[in-house]
Amino acid sequence: MKLLVTGGAGFIGSNFILYWLNKYPSDKIINLDLLTYAGNLESLKEIENNSNYSFVKGNICDRKLVDELVKKVDIIVHFAAESHVDRSILDAAPFIKTNIQGTYTLLESAVKNNISRFHHISTDEVFGSLQLNSVKKFNEKTAYDPHSPYSASKAASDHLVKAYADTYNLPVTISNCSNNFGPYQFPEKFVSLAITNILEGKKIPVYGDGLHVRDWLYVKDHCAAIDLILQKGKIGKTYLIGGLTQDISNVDVIKKIVKIMGMDIDCIEYVKDRPGHDRRYAIDWSKIKRELGWSPKQNFDKALEITVKWYKDNKDWWEKIKSGEYLKYYKKQYNK
C-alpha cells in the first residue's frame, strides 16, 4: 500500500508515520509537509533513511505538486492543518488558506487521480461547546457549531470532504478527535507546555478559572484508531475518537501532571481567559468501539506518566523548539 500523509512532520502526523511503518514495514509513505513553525523533521529521525519513506517539503495548496504526489499513492491521510486556537484568534488567514483551500486542493486531486481512500482528520471543536456539569456528549450526529476561526475552518473542511463524497463519489472517511497529547507535541499545547514549563522552572499558565473541560486522547491510541478506520471503516462515514469516559477540568489535568512531577500546585498561574473559549467538550466514542472494536489501550493517568517521562528523557528535542534551534535541522539535513 502507498500512502500520502499530509502534515507528517507535525505532532499527530509524525506519530502516525512512525506507527504505520512499524506495523506495516512493506508499505510506502510520502510525507508532504510545508514545515511551518510546528513541523519538525527531528521527530522522524529514526525512519529518515528508510527506503519506504520519503519527505517532500511543499504546500498542500500547490496543485501541481499535489497532483504529482497523488498519482503515486493509493490513500491520502490528511493531517495537515493550522491547529492552534490562540494563533487563529490573532490571525485567521493561514487557517483559511491551509485548512480550507488546502483540503480543497487535495480533494480535487483525489478525484482526478481516482484515489482509493481519502481519510480526513478533524477535531471535536467543530461541534462547539457543551454546558459544564451536563451529561451531553458529542456524537456523529451532533450539529456543527464552531466558535473560533480555527474550528470554523476545520468545519468548512469537513463539509468539503462530505460534499466531494456525495458529488463525485470520492471514497472518504472522516474522524473527529479530541485533544491529543503524547510524544513529539509542539510545546505550546496544554499538556506539553505544562510539562516543559515545570522542567524549566517556570509557571504553568491556566486560562480563566481552569474549569474548562476537554476529552484527552493519547496520540498512539489515536493512531491505532485511524488504522482501524482505514482497514475496516465504512466509506462515507464519520467516526468520533475520544479517550475518556468521565469529565476532567483543565486545572485537574495540571494537578495530575504536577503530582507526577513531584511539584507543588504553587507553580500554577491563572491567566486572563481567551476570547470565545469553549467551556466543555465531551465525546461519545461508542460508535468506533461498537463497529470497529477500538478503545484506548492506555488509561489517562498512565498515559500522562508515559508522556511526562518522554519529555524528561527527550529534553534535547523540545529545548531546541523553545530556543528555535530545531529550525536549523532541515537546512542541515537537506542542505537548503
Domain harbouring 178, CATH code: 3.40.50.720
Q: Is 150 among the catalytic positions?
A: yes
Residues of the chain falling short of pLDDT 50: 330, 333-336
pLDDT at 333: 47
Considering its fold, how many domains does the chain have in total? 1
Of 33, 42, 82, 125, which is the active-site residue?
125
Adjacent-strand bridge partners of 56: 32
pLDDT at 330: 47
Quote the CA–CA distance of 202 and 206 in Å, as a whole number.
13
Q: Take residue 317 and report the three cell numbers written for it.
A: 528535542
Of 33, 124, 221, 278, which is the active-site residue?
124
Nearest in space to 192 (alpha carbons), one of 4, 38, 57:
38
Give backbone dihedrals phi and psi of 30, rounded to 5 degrees, phi first: -105, 125
- Per the structure, the complete domain to which residue 77 belongs is given by 2-334
Q: Which residue is listed with cell 478503545? A: 295
Of 150, 164, 311, 330, which is the active-site residue?
150
pLDDT at 328: 64
Quote the CA–CA distance of 112 and 64 in Å, as a whole number.
12
Q: Which residue is listed with cell 450539529? A: 143
- 85-102 pLDDT, tens digit each: 888 888 999 999 999 999
End-to-end CA, the chain: 30
Nearest in space to 220 (alpha carbons), one of 26, 28, 20:
20
